[in-house]
Amino acid sequence: MKLAGKTAIVTGGGRDIGRACAIRLASEGANVAVNYFASSTGADATVAEIEKRGGKAFAVQGDLNNAGAVEALVSETVARFGSVDILVNNAGGLIARKTIAEMDLAHWHAVMDLNVTSMFLMVKACLPHMTRGAIINLASQAGRDGGGPGAVAYATAKGAVMTMTRGLAKELGPQIRVNALCPGMIDTDFHNIHTPDAGRRGLEANAPLRRQGVPEDTANLVLFLASEEAAYITGANVDINGGMLFS
């Protein structure tokens, strides 16, 4: 049990990568706060799965662009479990594919807030309760290569997540390690909504590993970065893309 006695907050923990991370961290002994925004169904199912396996978790709604809601999420976690040791900043998204010519300022701000401002608020709220521990941010391969068509805002936001990860690692060490993941094609609703099927089949044909990733692949890496097995890793943006991009 690599995380016995630890407490983790997983934002966007009701589905896909967030759900897999919450379950994986709990499987190694962590108590988990599962944040969600719109629908409790997925978060409640995640909590039920963790409890079925003997773990401890609860679901809590919160708009992560609202400082008050973020403070409430962190306060409830500390009240229930006593501390915050691991923060997984998974909440984020593309919202919609828009070229710069099509994009208005409202869309730009919405993408930046969803991916970057939420992370800033979560880190700031957790720090008073983290004497030591690990922060793991979800960036993207788009932050490396600029993303696909209509993804300039999203790729820019994820590039900011990568840079913020490096800066936080310098600022918060040695007590707190900060790392990020840069997932490529992971089989999630994100790609069900935003990626044409032909593109996904093309990746499966051309990637060295000949498949898309699954959320559990990402969750295993999050677990490693959260654990003491990664005790000498901080400020890293780790690629997980089946070999489609080498950085």
Q: pLDDT digits over 22-59, tens only?
A: 999 999 999 999 999 988 999 999 999 999 999 999 99
Mean pLDDT of the chain: 95
Distances (CA, A) of 140 to 1, 161, 212: 29, 9, 14
pLDDT confidence of residue 198:
76
pLDDT confidence of residue 195:
66
The residue assigned the tokens 């790609």 is: 191
Q: What percent of the chain has pLDDT over 70?
A: 97
Q: What is the pTM of this model?
A: 0.94
For the beta carbon of residue 208, count every other beta carbon within 10 angstroms: 10
Q: Which residue has the higher pLDDT, 49 or 246?
A: 49
Predicted confidence band at 247 (pLDDT cuts at 50, 70, 90)?
Answer: confident
Q: pLDDT digits over 95-139, tens only?
A: 999 999 999 999 999 999 999 999 999 999 999 999 999 999 999
57-61 and 86-89 as β-strands: parallel, antiparallel, unpaired? unpaired
The residue assigned the tokens 């409640």 is: 44
CATH number for the segment(s) 7-240: 3.40.50.720
- Cα(130)–Cα(20) distance, integer angstroms: 23
Q: pLDDT digits over 166-181, tens only?
A: 999 999 999 999 999 9
**Residue of 65, 154, 177, 218 with catalytic role:** 154
The answer to whether 36 is a known catalytic residue is no
E-strand stretches of the chain: 7-10, 31-36, 57-61, 86-89, 133-138, 176-183, 237-240
Predicted confidence band at 192 (pLDDT cuts at 50, 70, 90)?
Answer: low
DSSP state of 228: G
- Residue of 48, 70, 71 whose CA lies nearest to 58: 48
